[in-house]
């Protein structure tokens, strides 16, 4: 069995493609079960955020698993695998674990150090558990990633990047119109991102109004912030009075059209800043061309990151904070790697000791038939002596194989023990031969993978 991480993120794909693969709750459930119905996938977890859709899967064959997962992604996006392949990244085994931990820590986010992705991973894990698509392989890996994310945020200064993408987007609003204190802001959407946006705005002193397709949720959110809730039918009126519109719904089509914004700008002598944090986008792209309207969206923020590769968008995370976070990720992933490799050799150690016990019992039985007159005390002493000798002979190789398992290629020693002692255990299928290899320490895009499956 092998662990794979196959996905599309802001690191490699444009926002237009991210919109195609974006998933809602129902889409995610359907995808989870579609993955398990495929030929090579036995466990699956889907992490879908505004900047990525990544699938972590346990598979029985490397290339077969990559193909299955890629086909599911392509079907969901309504396109072919060949169209997605330049943007799909593939991580394998240890590197996949490291990638998940890096994502959980906020180190792979558009805004380095953002915390929302940790909650999104926790929700994805809970959903996979509820749907029965996660088992003994992905359980400890996901739990370790959540632990890593928590440690990074509590033990390093990486949070200085800002709470989330929301904070960075609102910083861009402030750049346009100044301080938000006292300014009327309309928030469309009361889900997790909408709640985060409304809460952040309230902390900055804005006068928050919330509207949503679910009025009860909007009312509860507004009341918790000391703001107002309005019906969605009042969108036009409220937009005309607002200085800022923040929208982040889970809709699959346009929520804010040019007609609504055009009407809101009639007779207006001040600018309107529209913040669209939804994926797919809530706001018609043409809105950005209207006079007096400024749009801040994921494409803009992605462009800023592309213009400054390797730098946090917020620009406030010190290099030593990032280094400390990476060091924690490396430490935790190394510990998990050692645990997984030790677990991988445990059946070999157990089988070796079981085989030795069978041989000892057989020889003692043979001795008893050849020396039937041997008294009980002598027989017992001989048995203890033989077992001590066997235990001492096996002690060093079994201890060493466990120690060596934590090193790269350490499971090869368990393979050698199985071969030397004829243990007859079926080793985990080697998914890659010498002729077809994938570096487990570096990600690759789908169209860079070899064609043949060597598993």
- We report the CATH number of the domain holding residue 88 as 3.30.460.30
Mean pLDDT of 44-67: 92
Has residue 454 been placed in a domain? no
- Both 278 and 348 in one domain: the answer is no
Distances (CA, A) of 92 to 7, 27, 337: 12, 25, 13
What mean pLDDT, rounded, does the chain reach? 83
Is 50 tagged catalytic? yes
C-beta separation of 287 from 259 below 8 A: no
Has residue 434 been placed in a domain? no
* Boundary of a domain, candidates 283, 307, 331: 307
Query: What would the pLDDT profile of 149-175 be if each residue is shown by its tens digit?
Result: 999 988 887 776 545 678 888 989 999
- Both 11 and 149 in one domain: the answer is yes
pLDDT at residue 47 tops 90? yes
C-beta separation of 277 from 247 below 8 A: yes
Q: How far apart are CA 143 and CA 113, in angstroms?
A: 19
> Quick one: what percent of the chain has pLDDT higher than 70?
85
- Both 216 and 363 in one domain: the answer is no
Q: Which of 50, 55, 145, 235 is labelled catalytic?
A: 50
> Quick one: what percent of the chain has pLDDT higher than 90?
40
- Both 152 and 6 in one domain: the answer is yes
C-beta separation of 164 from 115 below 8 A: yes
Distances (CA, A) of 208 to 60, 201, 373: 51, 7, 96
Query: What would the pLDDT profile of 90-119 be if each residue is shown by its tens digit?
Result: 998 888 999 999 999 988 887 777 778 898
Which position has the higher pLDDT, 346 or 81?
A: 81
Has residue 141 been placed in a domain? yes
- Both 39 and 127 in one domain: the answer is yes
- Both 261 and 399 in one domain: the answer is no
Structural domain tally of the chain?
3
pLDDT at 308: 56
Comparing CA positions, the residue from 226, 108, 216, 232 lying closest to residue 161 is: 108
- Both 191 and 86 in one domain: the answer is no
Give me 53's structure tokens.
Answer: 């859709």
**Which range among 34-38, 156-160, 229-233 shows the weakest confidence by mean pLDDT?**
156-160
Enclosing domain of residue 172? 165-307
Residues of the binding site for substrate = 49-52, 109, 114-116, 120
Query: What would the pLDDT profile of 349-364 be if each residue is shown by its tens digit?
Result: 788 888 888 888 888 8
What predicted TM-score, i.e. pTM, was given to this entire model? 0.64
Q: 328: Cβ–Cβ under 8 A, 6 or more apart, which residues?
A: 105, 148, 151, 152, 155, 156
Per-residue pLDDT band at 436 (split at 50, 70, 90): very low
pLDDT at 187: 95
- Both 266 and 374 in one domain: the answer is no
* Boundary of a domain, candidates 285, 307, 329: 307
- Both 205 and 289 in one domain: the answer is yes
Has residue 320 been placed in a domain? no
- Both 232 and 366 in one domain: the answer is no
Which position has the higher pLDDT, 384 or 306?
A: 384
Per-residue pLDDT band at 453 (split at 50, 70, 90): very low
pLDDT at residue 25 tops 80? no
What are the beta bridge partners of residue 52?
A: 9
Has residue 367 been placed in a domain? yes
- Both 87 and 169 in one domain: the answer is no
Mean pLDDT of 422-430: 53
- Both 120 and 181 in one domain: the answer is no
């Amino acid at each position: 069995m092998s662990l794979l991480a196959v996905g599309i993120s802001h690191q490699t794909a444009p926002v237009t493609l991210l919109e195609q693969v974006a998933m809602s709750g129902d889409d995610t459930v359907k995808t989870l079960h579609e993955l398990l119905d495929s030929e090579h996938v036995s466990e699956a977890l889907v992490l879908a955020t505004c900047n990525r859709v990544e699938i972590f899967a346990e598979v029985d064959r490397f290339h077969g698993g990559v193909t299955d997962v890629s086909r599911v992604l392509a079907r969901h996006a309504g396109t072919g695998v060949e169209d997605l392949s330049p943007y799909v990244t593939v991580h394998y085994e240890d590197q996949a674990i490291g990638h998940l931990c890096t994502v959980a820590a906020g180190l792979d986010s558009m805004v380095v150090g953002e915390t929302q992705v940790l909650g999104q991973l926790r929700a994805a894990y809970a959903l996979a558990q509820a749907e029965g698509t996660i088992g003994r392989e992905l359980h400890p890996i996901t739990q370790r990633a959540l632990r890593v994310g928590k440690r990074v945020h509590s033990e390093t200064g990486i949070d200085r990047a800002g709470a989330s993408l929301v904070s960075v987007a609102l910083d861009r609003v402030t750049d346009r119109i100044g301080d938000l204190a006292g300014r009327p802001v309309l928030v469309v959407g009361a889900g997790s991102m909408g709640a985060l946006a409304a809460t952040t705005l309230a902390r900055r002193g804005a006068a928050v109004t919330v509207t949503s397709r679910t009025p009860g949720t909007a009312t509860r959110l507004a009341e918790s912030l000391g703001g107002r809730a309005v019906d969605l039918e009042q969108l036009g009126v409220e937009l005309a009075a607002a200085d800022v519109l923040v929208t982040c719904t889970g809709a699959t089509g346009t929520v804010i059209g040019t007609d609504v914004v055009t009407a809101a700008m009639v007779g207006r002598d001040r600018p309107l800043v529209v913040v669209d944090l939804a994926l797919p986008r809530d706001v018609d792209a043409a809105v950005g061309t209207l006079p007096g309207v400024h749009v801040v969206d994921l494409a803009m923020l992605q462009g800023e990151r592309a213009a400054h590769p390797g730098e946090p968008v917020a620009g406030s995370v010190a290099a030593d904070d990032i280094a400390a976070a990476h060091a924690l990720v490396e430490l935790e992933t190394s510990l998990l790697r050692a645990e997984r490799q030790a677990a991988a050799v445990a059946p070999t150690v157990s089988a070796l000791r079981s085989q030795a016990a069978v041989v000892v019992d057989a020889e003692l039985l043979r001795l008893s038939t050849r020396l039937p007159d041997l008294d009980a005390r002598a027989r017992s002493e001989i048995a203890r002596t033989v077992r001590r000798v066997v235990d001492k002979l096996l002690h060093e190789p079994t201890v060493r194989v466990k120690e060596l398992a934590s090193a790269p290629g350490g499971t090869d020693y368990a393979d050698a023990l199985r071969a030397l002692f004829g243990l007859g255990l079926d080793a985990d299928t080697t998914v890659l031969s010498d002729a077809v290899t994938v570096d487990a320490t570096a990600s690759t895009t789908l169209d860079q993978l070899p064609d043949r499956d060597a598993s």
